[in-house]
Each structure stands twice: as structure tokens, then as C-alpha cells.
């Protein structure tokens, strides 16, 4: 599995950065991070995801999946899309419309509002959880 994260903003908070790095270290799948900030961030984000083989946008209006459903989605991508997926996370203003339109799937982490930098950490945990679910590891409990 090769996962790309295209995101707005850089993790500067030491606690969030440590959590992100912990899940990155545990993840067996290849992960590439693309961070954009400043005035050129949105055009660069749009350009980064333009040729994504399978694009998943994280947006408050997206589908709310259970962890097992998320794991099954990733398993399907491994089998039918060469295991290549790009996740895109916008900033506080959300994602540009062209990115939302390009997305093959849009998911949400619930109805609550989350800071976009925290969403990155939540995604990393869910990627690790999905990996463990697919391996049959007891990390995930219902």
C-alpha cells in the first residue's frame, strides 16, 4: 500500500507532532506527506492531487465510516487500485471545490468540528487501525 497525504499546514505543536510520528513509525505501509502553507497552498494542493490514482477527501460533509468499513475500503484499494491512495485535508476553510470534485470518495470523522491539524493525527491512527484490522491483530476492539 502506498498512501500520500496532501495537507494544508505544518505540524508545529510538539504533542501533535509526536502522535503523528508514533503512528507513522507503526505504519507498515509506505506514506508520503505533502504539506503546503502560505498564499500558494491551495493551488499547490490542487496540483498535487490532480493526478491521484484514487483520491479521498476528508470533509465534514463526507461519509461517516466505521473503522472496519474504512479498513475494507483500503483493502479494496489494495486489490483494485494498485494500493495507491491520496488523502487530502484542507485548512479551516475546507477544501477547494476543484479538489472536492476530483475526489473519488469523501469521508468525515463525524459531525463534530475538528482542527485540521488534529485530523491529520486522527487519520494516521485510523490508517494504523485499518492495517491492524486487516492483519487480524487485536488492536481494534468493537
pLDDT tens sequence across 17-40: 999 999 999 999 999 999 999 888
pLDDT number for residue 141:
63
- What local confidence, expressed as pLDDT, does residue 113 receive? 84
Q: Does 49 have pLDDT greater than 80?
A: yes
What is the pTM (predicted TM-score) of this model? Answer: 0.93
Are the beta carbons of 87 and 62 closer than 8 angstroms?
Answer: no
* Rounded Cα gap, residues 115 and 61, in angstroms: 15
Alpha carbons 33 and 100: distance in angstroms, whole number: 19
Q: pLDDT for 86-139, tens place per residue?
A: 999 998 888 999 999 999 999 999 988 888 899 999 999 999 999 999 999 777
Beta strands in the chain (DSSP E): 2-8, 30-36, 55-64, 84-89, 105-108
Residues 92/116, Cβ–Cβ less than 8 Å: yes
Amino acid at each position: 500500500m502506498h498512501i500520500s497525504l496532501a495537507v494544508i499546514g505544518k505540524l508545529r505543536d510538539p504533542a501533535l507532532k509526536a502522535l503523528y510520528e508514533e503512528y507513522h513509525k507503526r505504519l507498515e505501509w509506505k506514506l508520503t506527506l505533502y504539506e503546503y502553507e502560505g498564499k500558494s497552498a491551495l493551488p499547490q494542493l490542487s496540483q498535487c492531487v490532480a493526478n491521484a490514482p484514487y483520491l479521498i477527501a476528508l470533509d465534514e460533509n463526507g461519509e461517516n465510516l466505521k473503522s472496519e468499513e474504512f479498513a475494507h475500503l483500503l483493502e479494496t484499494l489494495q486489490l483494485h487500485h494498485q494500493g495507491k491512495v491520496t488523502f487530502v485535508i484542507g485548512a479551516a476553510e475546507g477544501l477547494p471545490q476543484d479538489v472536492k470534485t476530483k475526489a473519488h470518495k469523501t469521508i468525515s470523522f463525524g459531525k463534530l468540528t475538528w482542527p485540521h491539524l488534529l485530523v491529520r493525527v486522527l487519520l494516521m491512527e485510523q490508517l494504523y487501525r485499518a492495517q491492524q484490522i486487516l492483519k487480524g491483530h487485536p488492536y481494534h476492539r468493537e
